[in-house]
Amino acid sequence: MTSQSETWAALDLLKMLVLDPRYAALIAILVAAAWIDVKSHRIPNSLVFVGIVFAVLYNGLNPPYLRDNGWVLALSGLGIGFIAFLPFHMLKAMGAGDVKLMAMVGAFLGPWPTFEATLATGIAGGVLAIGFIFWTGRVRQAFHNVSLVMRSNLLTAPAGQLDFSLSPNSSAGKSR
Same domain, yes or no, for 120 and 130?
A: yes
Q: Over pLDDT 70: what percentage of the chain?
A: 87
Q: Please, are residues 100 and 119 in contact by the beta-carbon 8 Å criterion?
A: no
pLDDT at 17 over 80: no
Structure-model confidence comparison of residues 35 and 138, the more confident one: 35
pLDDT of residue 168: 52
Same domain, yes or no, for 58 and 113?
A: yes
Same domain, yes or no, for 54 and 69?
A: yes
pLDDT at 170 over 80: no
Question: Closest Cα partner for 107 from 45, 42, 46, 50?
Answer: 50
The span from the CA of 86 to the CA of 82, in Å, is 6
Same domain, yes or no, for 171 and 90?
A: no
pLDDT of residue 59: 94
pLDDT of residue 165: 61
| Number of domains the chain is built from | 2
Where b means 16+ CB within 10 Å and e means fewer, 13-25 reads eeeeeeeeebeeb
Same domain, yes or no, for 81 and 17?
A: yes
pLDDT of residue 176: 47
Same domain, yes or no, for 130 and 110?
A: yes
pLDDT of residue 164: 60
Structure-model confidence comparison of residues 128 and 7, the more confident one: 128
Task: Name the DSSP letter for residue 168.
Answer: G
Same domain, yes or no, for 109 and 147?
A: no
This prediction's pTM: 0.76
Same domain, yes or no, for 9 and 58?
A: yes
Same domain, yes or no, for 129 and 147?
A: no
pLDDT of residue 103: 97
Same domain, yes or no, for 115 and 172?
A: no
Same domain, yes or no, for 106 and 60?
A: yes
Query: 42: number of CA atoms within 13 Å, CB side?
Result: 5
Q: Distance from first CA to last CA of the chain, Å, rounded? A: 43
pLDDT at 174 over 80: no
Same domain, yes or no, for 151 and 165?
A: yes
Query: 126: number of CA atoms within 13 Å, CB side?
Result: 6
pLDDT digits (tens, 9 = 90+) for 43-100: 999 999 999 999 999 999 988 877 789 999 999 999 999 999 999 888 778 889 999 9
Contacts 24+ apart (CB under 8 A), 132-135: 132/173, 133/172, 133/173
Q: Report the chain's mean pLDDT, rounded to a whole number.
A: 86
Domain residues for 129? Answer: 4-136
pLDDT at 13 over 80: no
Q: Please, are residues 55 and 104 in contact by the beta-carbon 8 Å criterion?
A: yes
| 37 confidence band (pLDDT: 50, 70, 90) | very high
**Torsion angle in degrees (nearest 10) through CA of 9, 12, 17, 21:** -150
Does residue 115 come out as left (phi exceeding 0), alpha (psi in the -120 to 50 range) or beta? alpha
